Amino acid sequence: MADLPQDIIRIKRDGRALSKGQIEQFVAGVVSGEFRDYQASALLMAIVLKGMTAEETAHLTDAMMRSGRVLALPEVQRPKVDKHSTGGVGDKVSLILAPLAAACGLCVPMMSGRGLGHTGGTLDKLEAIPGFTVSLDDPAYRAQLLKIHQAMIGQSADMVPADRKLYALRDVTSTVESVPLICASILSKKLAEGIDALVLDVKCGSGAFMKTEADARNLAESLVRISSAMGKPTTALLTRMDAPLGLAVGNALEVNEAIACLKGEGPQDLMEVTYALTAEMLLLGGLYTDRDTARARLEAAIADGSALRAFRELVAAQGGDPRIIDEPSRLPVAPHTHDVCYPSETPAFVESIDALSIGEAARLLGAGRAHADAEIDLSVGIELMKKPGDSVVTGEPICRVYYSQPDELAAALKRIENAFTFSPNAPAIPALVVDRIFSH
pLDDT at site 115:
61
Q: What is the pTM of this model?
A: 0.94
pLDDT of residue 372: 64
The CATH number that domain 5-51 falls under is 1.20.970.10
Confidence at residue 378, expressed as pLDDT on a 0 to 100 scale:
95
pLDDT of amino acid 371: 67
- Give CATH 3.90.1170.30 domain extents, the chain: 332-423
Pairing of strands 336-341, 397-403: antiparallel
pLDDT of residue 116: 59
φ, ψ for residue 113, nearest 5 deg: -125, 180
Q: Where are the beta strands (DSSP E) in 150-244?
A: 150-154, 197-204, 234-240
Nearest to 11 by CA among 25, 175, 181: 25
Q: What is the pLDDT of residue 64?
A: 96
Angle at CA of residue 122, ends 104 and 199, nearest 5°: 45
From CA 51, how far away is CA 219, in angstroms rounded? 13
- Confidence at residue 322, expressed as pLDDT on a 0 to 100 scale: 97
Q: What is the pLDDT of residue 309?
A: 98
Name residues whose C-beta falls within 8 Å of residue 258's C-beta, 6 or more positions apart in sequence: 92, 95, 96, 125, 266, 311
Q: Where in the chain is the domain with CATH 3.40.1030.10?
A: 81-327
- What CATH superfamily classification does 332-423 receive? Pyrimidine nucleoside phosphorylase-like, C-terminal domain (3.90.1170.30)
What separation in angstroms does the CA of 120 have from each of 221, 275, 297, 362?
24, 20, 29, 10
The boundaries of every CATH 1.20.970.10 domain in the chain are 5-51
State the number of CA atoms in the 13 A half-sphere of 437 facing the CB: 23
Give the per-residue pLDDT at 118. 62
Task: For residue 348, give the H/E element and its range.
Answer: strand 348-353
List the pLDDT tens digit at each of the 440 positions of the chain.
689 999 999 999 999 999 999 999 999 999 999 999 999 999 999 999 999 999 999 999 999 999 999 989 999 999 999 999 998 999 999 999 999 999 999 999 998 877 655 666 889 999 999 999 999 999 999 999 999 999 999 888 888 999 989 988 887 888 888 999 999 999 999 999 889 999 999 999 998 888 999 999 999 999 999 999 899 999 999 999 999 999 999 999 999 999 999 999 999 999 999 999 999 999 999 999 999 999 999 999 999 999 999 999 999 999 999 999 999 999 999 999 999 999 999 999 999 999 999 999 999 999 987 666 678 899 999 999 999 999 999 999 999 999 999 988 999 999 999 999 999 999 999 999 999 999 86
CATH number at 81-327: 3.40.1030.10
Active site residues: 84, 163, 170, 185, 189
pLDDT at residue 179, as a whole number: 92
Rounded Cα–Cα distance for residues 348 and 390 (Å):
9
Integer angstrom CA distances of residue 47 from 12, 187, 297: 7, 17, 44
